[in-house]
Structure 1
Amino acid sequence: MFLKKTNKPLHYEDRAKSAKPTMIILHYTGMQTMLAARERLTDPTSKVSAHYLVDTDGQVFDLVPEDKRAWHAGLSYWHGETDINSYSVGIEMVNPGHELGYKPFTSQQMQAVMDLCQGIQSRHKIEYVLGHSDIAPERKIDPGELFPWEWLAGHGVGLWPKPTDADLQKAEDISCNDYEVERLLTQFGYNPMGAYVDVVSAFHRHFAPEKFKTGEQEKVDMDTVVKLVSLVRQSGNKLVV
C-alpha cells in the first residue's frame, strides 16, 4: 500500500461531540480516473470529501485526518445513528461506477483496501464495515454488486453470513414473512423508514450479489432469511426503532 498525503484544502470539521469512528464506509468514485476523483474530493467548492482515496493500482491518498469528520455519507442511517459522518471513516475507491462502465475492482486495489481497513480497525473500535448503499439504500448503489465483500470479510474486515443449525431453524420458523424480515433488517442496522424493496436490494447487493445476475435482487427467499439471521446473531444488535 502506497500512502500519499495531499495538502489541498478540503471539506472537513471536528466530529460531533468528540465522537469516535465505529464504522468504515466504502464508496466508489463514479468517475473515469483517479485524477478526476482526487480533484473533486479536494475541490473547495465540491462540498464532498473522504478520508482516503484508493486507486486501481493500489496507491492510497490520505485526504482527511481520521480524527476529523469528512463529508462522504450524506443523508444516511445505520442502527439508530443518522450522523454517519461523525462516526465513520470514509474510503473512496476509483471505479467508473454503474453510469460510466462499472467493472470489477482490481486485486491491487483490494489488497490496499484490506490493508487500509485493517489499519483503521487497529486504531479504532470499528463495529461495522459497510457500503454507501447500506446506509443510504434509497439513494446509493455503491460500491455495488461487484465489490468482493466475502473476500474482505475472510481477511477480518466486516461480517459475512456463517449460518449455524440454530440459524437455519430460526430462519425456517420465520420463513419469508415480510414483517419478520423487515424487523431483522432493522435489527441488523438498516433504516426502518426506508422503502422495503430498496433495503432488500441493498442487503442483497452486499450479501447476495449473485441475485443481480438473475434479476432477483428485490425478492426475499430462504437464502435471504438464513443470511440475515446469521448476521443479526453475529452482530449482537438489539432492535432499534
Structure 2
Amino acid sequence: MKTRADLSVRDVPSPNFRERPGGRKPDMLILHYTGMKSAEEAIARLSDRAAEVSCHYVVEENGDVVRMVAEPLRASHAGVSCWRGEHNLNDAAIGIEIVNPGHAFGYRPFPPAQIESVIALCADIVRRRRIAPDRVLGHSDVAPDRKQDPGELFPWADLAAAGIGHWVAPAPVSEGVRFARGDEGPPVGALQSLLALYGYEIGVTGVFDARTEIVVTAFQRHFRPEKVDGVADRSTIETLHRLIAALKAVPRPEPGAEGAGQQGKAAS
C-alpha cells in the first residue's frame, strides 16, 4: 500500500487563504471532485486570486499531488456548508480536490493510481490530525443542495478498508417500504430525525419535501451508491440505521495533533 512518503508532491501556492478563526485546528476532512474539464484548468482556478476559491491539496488522475494551502490555514473549498449544526466548515476542514470532470463534463470512475494517492494522503492527514472517521465527508454531505461531489462513483468503501471514514456495508436494494416527495407522517419525521442525528442539515417536519429529497440523495451518493434517486427505500433506511448504530464504536480522538509542515513560499 502506498504511503505519504511515496507520493509525488509539488507546490502550487494559492493566494486564497487566511488564518483559521481563533487559531482553530482542523478536525474535519472534506473530499471533492474538481468538476472541470482538465486538471490544469482546475489548478489554475484554485490558484486565481479573482476566483476566491482554493483547497489544501489536489490529487491528479495519475496520482500526483499538488499542495496549494498549508493545512493550518483556512482554504476556501466548502462554501456554504453545515454538519451537525456547525456552519462555515472551511473554518474546521482540510479540503482535498480530486481531479474528475464531474457530472457536468463526463463523470467517470476514479483511476486506481489516483485513489491509491487519495488513500495515502487521507491516511496521513487523519492520523496526524486525529480526525474522527465520521468527520471524513464528501462535499455533497455538507452542502447537499449545491453539490454532488465526489459522487456515487467515489470508492468510499476502499477508503474505509484503509481505516479512513465511517462506513458500513449498504443494505441490499429490495422492494418494500419507501418514502418519496409528497409523503408525510410520523415515519417521515423519524427518517428526518435520523438524518439530522447523523449530521445532515434537515428540519424535522414530517413532510417529505424538496429538502428531504435532496438530503436523501446526498446520503445515497455517499453511503448507498447503488441507486441514487432521492427515494428513501428500505435499503436507504436500513443503511442509515446501521450507520447510526455503528457511531457508538467510532473513536473520538482529540483533534489537531500535529502541525502540517511548513507553509512554504506563500500558502503551502
**Please, what TM-score do these two structures have when normalized by structure 1?**
0.87
1:95 maps to what in 2? Answer: 100
CA deviation profile, 1:38-62 (whole Å, cap 9, x unmatched): 1001011110000000000000011
Q: Structure 1: which 5+ runs fail to align?
A: 164-175
CA deviation profile, 1:197-228 (whole Å, cap 9, x unmatched): 0000000010111113xxxx211122212211
SS of the equivalent of 2:82 reads coil
1:31 maps to what in 2? Answer: 36
The runs of at least 4 aligned residues of structure 1 exceeding 6 Å deviation read none
Q: Which of these residues, 192, 195, 219, is aligned with residue 185 of structure 1?
A: 195
Whole-angstrom CA distance in 2 between matches of 1:231 and 1:16:
31
Contact 1:58/1:109 (CA < 8 Å) preserved in 2? yes
The 5 Å alignment of 1:89-168 reads: 89-127=94-132, 128-161=135-168
136-145 or 17-26: which moved more?
17-26
Q: Are positions 1:4 and 2:22 aligned together?
A: no
Whole-angstrom CA distance in 2 between matches of 1:109 and 1:18:
32
SS of the equivalent of 1:31 reads coil
1:223 maps to what in 2? Answer: 235
SS of the equivalent of 1:218 reads coil
1:208 maps to what in 2? Answer: 224
Whole-angstrom CA distance in 2 between matches of 1:162 and 1:96:
27
Q: Which is bigger in relative contact order (C-alpha 8 A, separation at least 6)?
A: 2
CA deviation profile, 1:142-188 (whole Å, cap 9, x unmatched): 1111111111111111011259xxxxxxxxxxxx9211111010010
Whole-angstrom CA distance in 2 between matches of 1:201 and 1:162:
18
Shift of 1:6: 2.0
Whole-angstrom CA distance in 2 between matches of 1:56 and 1:162:
27
Shift of 1:85: 0.4
2:21 maps to what in 1? Answer: 16
SS of the equivalent of 1:177 reads helix
SS of the equivalent of 1:211 reads coil
SS of the equivalent of 1:117 reads helix
Between the two proteins, the alignment pairs up a number of residues equal to 222
**Please, what TM-score do these two structures have when normalized by structure 2?**
0.79
Whole-angstrom CA distance in 1 between matches of 2:26 and 2:211:
27
Whole-angstrom CA distance in 1 between matches of 2:66 and 2:158:
23
53-62 or 118-127: which moved more?
118-127
- 1:103 partner amino acid: R
1:82 maps to what in 2? Answer: 87
| Amino-acid identity (%) | 43
Shift of 1:72: 0.3
RMSD: 2.0
SS of the equivalent of 1:195 reads helix
